[in-house]
Structures are given as structure tokens and as C-alpha cells.
A and B are shown apart, each in its own frame.
Chain A
Amino acid sequence: MDRPMTGKGLDLRELGRRVGAENAAVVREEIGDAWLDHARGQLHARVEAPGALANLGAAVADANVAASHQADLARVRNALLSPPSRRPAPIGWGFAWGAALAAAAAVLAFFVVSHQPAPLVASVGPDKLVAGAWIEASDAASHVAFSDGSSVQARKGTSIRVVELTEAGCDLDVVEGAVAVEVVPRPSNDWHVRAGPYAVAVLGTKFEVDWDREQRRLEVKLFRGKVSVTGPGLGERVLTPGQRLVVTPREIRVEIGPSKTVWAESTPTPSKPVLATKQTQTAPDPGGAAVASNKPRDVVAAQPNAAPPPAHQPAESVEMAKRKQRRRTKRARRRARTRRARTRATAAAAVTNAAQAQLQEAGNDDDGVDAEKGQAVHAPPWNELKTHRWCAAVEQGQRWGWARLADEKAERILAMADAARLCGRLELALQTYKTLRRRYPTDPEAERALFGMGRIGLAQGHHAYAARQFATYIARHPRGRFAEQARGRLLVCYAEQGDRGATCGAARAYMRHHRTGPRAAQAREIVKRCNATP
């Protein structure tokens, strides 16, 4: 028993049983029960060690993250990526040469700077845009013109942000909605259009990007040139003219035939940016109009300023405007229908919620079995979450693939963890909270995950574990959203553990911070008792 054990759990367990069976009586006689208890404790510690090590490791890693110097990262980044600073030239023998070289360098620098290509200038009407500018096309389509002749048209209801303007191009972020981009080809072009997690790299081309933030649906239509689309689950897709790429959480689809839109039939690229601002200037191309009427799409209506208006076809312009109006009405009706259907579904869900929850409880627990088979066919559980059907969300999440949650945003992971907790799937909830904390250690949602882990520990009677989580939460977020609840629950944990000193300390801390809190009476009583019997 004196020799240190090896770390293999099973071997240790077996060894422990044998040693315990053969020597227990002898040990009890010779050394006494106290030592045996101690030895059992040691054995237990060793048997459980590999698991406990993971727990310890996780806690140490958490502490490391908290203690890591953020400044290091910024400093190293600057040191690595900044251009090397010039060392001062030694003054002495080479002073004259140095002065001459400096003068020459100054002349050269002046020449280079004066001939350096300036960054692109973007403007909406008369207003010049700077990097970081937001363009909200809330009332009507908006047109952004660039100094190199390129242009971007944002459909009504679209939000875009100009991330960066360089001499080689522009970095645009489509926050929501659809844009039509036309980039004038140049050898040094470096244009990027981002939409959610996806990015479209451009050389010289004409294309449309439609990003639906709610549905996480991306649609890229290429009319001319070449673009490369990258993003999660997509890798890198290069589109050729005439192709349309649709990416949704369920599928990735490349179709042929976007050329049947107004864009493809529009007039050749204007050499100057088109600064049209009124919808009456719509391209009245007869071919385009005909095709558009055959295949009405949202994006068609989004391009009122796609080409400069030839002045000799006013009747067709009016016709086009009427068509657009009809489409708008149709769209509004469709949206209203969808809203009504959703309301009905929510009401029905409220009635059947209890029954569904029971069904879920009675269902099998084959986590991930369906997920592996049906990743491509099952929808994500966001709709169930929105309608507060927690068990249905868990069930749907498992069908969809719980592991895929790791790729989602922090708030979605948290929502699913909460759903699992509220549905009573505590183990699943605990794992999901841990995933969130590991995946987004510095995200504000990680704070809620930490608190959630404590709640689960408390609910399952693991008071030491729960106390650790709550204490960590309080240490990190002393004025956090759940600080009062964490202090109250910590009090309960310590009391349940029978740790008198810790309970007194927690009660005093509670009274100090939350004198009028919901557990104040309880805490006051505990403090009184602590003071009465030191």
C-alpha cells in the first residue's frame, strides 16, 4: 500500500480490491481503523485520479485564461506585423555620406509619396464615405459609387458597412439584405464582400450578394468575371459566369442560370459611376423586363438603378415601375401570410407543449445517432427555441446533430444548453455549457454558462462542485447579472456541505452586497447564529 499506484483506473481498482480483501483484517488489527480509512481515501483518490485530473486541468486552464496578459497578444502582433523600424545612422566618419543619402532619400520619398496611388473614394450622392461608414437603405435603394468606376447598389432594407477602403479595392460587409456589385477590372484589384461568416473575393466582375441574417441564407449570383466564395462548411467555391450559389444551414447548391435577370441584360458597364437615386431611372431594357416577368425574384426588384436609363423608352419605364409595385404588394402579402402562420403555430405549440414534453421524456436517449445519419436533412432547432418548446428543441437538436452546435454563435449554444436544462436533460445541458465556455471563453455568454453549471450541480446535489462554480462566478463577475443569485446559492451549497466557517462567510458576504435581497432574512439569521456561537 505504501508504493505509489499507477494511473490506470481499472488496474488500480482491481489492485485495490485484492489488497483490501487480503489485508483488511491484518491492517485493522495492527494499525487500527483510522489508518484504514485514510488508506481507503488515498486509494479512492488514486482510482478516480484520471477523471479528477481532467477536472483539475480544466480549472487550471480557466485560471490561466483569466490570468493571461491580453497586452502580450497586442504587443507581439505589433512587433510581428509592423514594418521594421529604421536604425539611426551613425554620426562620425560617414556623416557627409549619411547627409547626402538622407537628402536623396527625402527627394525619393517625396517622389514616391506624390505618385503613390491614393485609396479609393466612395460616395453616396454628394456624401463621401470613410472606412467604417454604415449605409442603411431603409426607404429606397442606395447607390455607392467608387472613384475607380466600380459601383455597389444596396436594395431597399439593406444594411452595409464599408470596412476598409484601400488603393486596390474595398472591403464591404453586408450586414443584412442584398447588394449588386460591379467592379471595374484592374490587375491589382482586391475587393471583398462579406456576408455573415461568408466572404466573396472579387477580381473584376459583376455579381449580386443576398444575405438573410435570420435564415443564415447566402445567395451569390455571378454575371461576369470570377468570384471565389469562402465560408464555414463551404471551403472555397469559385463561381463562373451564369452560376448562382445558394448556401443555407441545410444545403449548399450551385445552380446555372442567374443570367436571366435584369443585370445580365443591362447595358454595358458605364465608364463613370452611376449616381442615380430615383427609381424612375430604372433600366427599361425590354429583354430584361421580359425575363424578369417570367421569373420574378426579390433581387430583380432590388436593382432599380442597375443601368443608366435610356431616355427614348419612357412608356416601358412606367410599365417596369408598375411591375415592381405589383411585386412589392405580392411580397408584402406573402410576409403577412407567414406572420399569421407563425402566430397560429405558436398558439398550437402552447397547447400541446406539455404533451410534447412527456413524449420527449419517454423518447430514447440516443444522442447523436440520428444526427450522424441525418445531418443534411434535419432542420436546426431554432424555430422550436423561438417558440419556447424546450424539449422539442432538444429533440430536434439531437436529430440535427448536437455536435454541430459547436460551430454556432455563443448565444445559440447557450440557448440550447438552457433548453436542455429546462427540459431536464441536465447532463446534456452541463456538457453544452462546458462546450460554450471552452469555445468562447471570453464571451459574455460564458458568464451565464458558468452560472448554469453551478445551478445544475446544485440541482443534482453536487454541492462542492456547485459551490466552486458559484465562487468562480462571483470572483469573476462580482457585480454580474447573476451575482445576487450566485451568492445566495453559494450560501445554500456551503450550508448543505455542513461547512460552518464557509457558510458564515457566505452569509456575511451576502448581507454586505444584498442587504435587501430575497435571501437577506435567511442570511441575517445565519450571521446572528455565527456571531452568537463563535
Chain B
Amino acid sequence: MADHAHDLKDLRPRPVTSRARFLGDDAALTRALQNGHPGAPAELFDRYGGHIQRVLVNVIGVDQEIADLLHETFAQAFKSIASLKQGDRLKAWLTRIAVFTARGCLRRRTRGRWLRFFAPEQLPETRCNDATPEMREAVAATYAVLDKMSVDLRVPFALRYMEGLDLKEVASACEVSLATIKRRLAKADARFVSLASREPALGDWLREGSRWTAR
């Protein structure tokens, strides 16, 4: 436990330069980014790096490529920050970029599936030390099921149920209307249940009552 904490301490992001830190809310941070404040990019990353990493991991799963996608998301954000008009919507805007980056990655993988030399189960297992074996199985089975779903269904499903966003936030992140997202989620639910019912590791989860569902 102690070693683990020590590792985390070592890995904690350190200030890169001695430039002045930025302080302020999202609107002020957006303005600072647009005006080229030297401390603003670091502040943006410190404020939302964890959130974006979580969104990416929830949509794609724990994967070697997450770091690249995180990098790509923030690089894209820095590049297009000038186009953000409502500064207080900074988090939602970043989430949207992350979702589109993840979607692009999933589509790329789908297109390149025929090039794979290994079956998915032969690939090295990703690290998941803290979870119980049952939980690890459930996670693996969940992403195996999600891999069989189309990207347009998978992304809203992950945002809704794993990231815990409400319908409006999911719609905003996917840049579609509320009605469309409701339709997609209904389809995604049905598809997931249909596929997951064939996975033994997910049987108990699906049979469980709805009492504990509100997060």
C-alpha cells in the first residue's frame, strides 16, 4: 500500500516551468487560453486531464492507446480554443473533443480489423490490479460486447452508463439532438442486453433489480 502511494506521488504531474500559474473559473481560463496566458495550458490540463482520461477509458476501455488519445484531445483543444465562444462550457467542449477523438480511434480500429494478426483474447491483458477476478471478467466481457456494437451506439452507451452523464450531456458530447440520442440509447440498450445475455460473466449483473441503479 505504502509503495503504491509512493509510486503515485512520484508520478504526480510536476510543474513544467516556473511560469506564472493561472487562477480563475472556466470562463476566465478560456479567455486566458485565447489570449495566450503562459500558465493557462497547464491549468487546463490539471483541471480536466483526469476527466478526459476517464471519458476516454470508459469509451474505449483500459488500453495502451489512451495516452496518445489524451495527447491528441488536448492538442486539438489547444489548436481550436479560439473557436470556443462560451467559456463556461469549457468542460462540455473538451468532452466533445474527447468523444470525437475516441470515435475516430474506434472507427480506425474497425476499418483495420481485417489486418489483425491476433484474436482479441490473445492480446496482452491490461493492468487491473485492484478489481476482484469477477469484476475483471465482467469488465472484459463488457468491452467484448461493446466491441461488437457500432460506434454510434457504443459511444452514447458508455457515456450514459459508465461516465454517468445525463441525456442532455450525452447529446451535447455526441453533437446530436436529444431525440436522436434517446433513439440511439434505446437501440444500444437492446443490442447490449441481447449480446450480453450470451456472456456468462454478465448474467448476474443483468438479472439484478433496478433498486441500485441510480448512481
A interface list, Cβ under 8 A from B: 4-8, 41-42, 44-46, 48-61, 63-83, 119, 163-164, 166, 168-169, 171, 190, 192, 194, 199, 201, 228, 230-232, 234-236, 431, 434, 438, 457, 462, 464-465, 471-472, 475-479
Contact = CB atoms under 8 A, between A and B. Distances in A.
Interface string B29-65: 0000000000001100110011001100110011000
B86 to A, nearest CB: 13
Interface stretch (B91-99, B105-113, B136-144, B170-178): B136-144
Contacts of B74: 76, 80
A163 B41 contact: no
Contact of A67 (B13, B126, B132): B126
A308 B58 CA distance: 61
Contacts of B75: 80
B82 interface: no
Contacts of B53: 68, 72-73
A134 to B, nearest CB: 18
A192 B40 CA distance: 14
B152 interface: no
Nearest to A465: B212
B116 interface: no
A299 B1 CA distance: 46
A77 B49 contact: yes
Contact of B210 (A7, A51, A77, A168): A51
A232 B75 CA distance: 27
A4 B190 contact: yes
A55 B62 contact: no
A518 to B, nearest CB: 23
Given A66-B131, A68-B57, 14 more contacts: A45-B206, A46-B193, A48-B207, A49-B206, A54-B213, A55-B205, A58-B161, A68-B62, A80-B74, A80-B75, A82-B16, A228-B28, A230-B23, A438-B215
9 contacts: A7-B191, A45-B206, A49-B193, A52-B210, A53-B213, A78-B16, A201-B23, A475-B135, A477-B1
Given A81-B41, A434-B215, A465-B212, A56 B186 contact: no
A107 B212 CA distance: 69
A115 to B, nearest CB: 18
B27 interface: yes
A45 B198 CA distance: 12
State the main secondary structure of chain A at its contact with B. Answer: helix
A472 B212 CA distance: 16
A58 B162 contact: yes
A70 B129 CA distance: 13
Contacts of A438: 164, 215
B71 interface: yes
B148 interface: no
Contacts of A236: 24-25, 27-28
Interface string B151-162: 000000010111
A434 B57 CA distance: 20
Contacts of A73: 11, 13, 49-50, 53, 70
A88 to B, nearest CB: 22
Given A52-B207, A57-B161, A462 B21 contact: no
B6 interface: no
Contacts of A171: 20-21, 23
A119 B131 CA distance: 47
A74 B197 contact: no
B1 A479 contact: yes
Contacts of B197: 4, 42, 45-46
A228 B22 CA distance: 13
A7 B206 contact: no
A27 to B, nearest CB: 19
A192 B41 contact: no
B67 A48 contact: no
Given A52-B207, A56-B161, A81-B16, A72 B67 contact: yes
B3 interface: no
Nearest to A47: B210
A65 B57 CA distance: 8
B214 interface: yes
Nearest to B41: A81
Most buried by B among A64, A228, A234: A64
B191 to A, nearest CB: 8
B121 interface: no
A61 B189 contact: no
Nearest to B16: A81
Given A52-B213, A438-B164, A71 B11 contact: yes
Contacts of A166: 18-20
Nearest to A192: B23
Most buried by A among B191, B193, B204: B193
A53 B25 contact: no
A61 B126 contact: no
Most buried by A among B70, B127, B188: B70
A60 B61 CA distance: 9
Given A4-B193, A6-B186, A119-B18, A45 B132 contact: no
A434 B215 CA distance: 6
A76 B206 contact: no
B160 A57 contact: yes
B139 A49 contact: no
A164 B39 CA distance: 12
B162 A230 contact: no
A513 B37 CA distance: 54
A235 B23 contact: no
B189 A7 contact: yes
A179 to B, nearest CB: 16
A474 B63 CA distance: 25
B202 interface: yes
Contact of B25 (A6, A74, A76, A231): A231
Contacts of A192: 20-21, 23
B106 to A, nearest CB: 16
A232 B28 CA distance: 12
Given A48-B207, A465-B212, A67 B67 contact: no
A234 B24 CA distance: 10
Contact of A58 (B46, B78, B164): B164
A230 B87 CA distance: 14
B41 A80 contact: yes
B192 interface: yes
Contacts of B205: 52, 55-56, 59
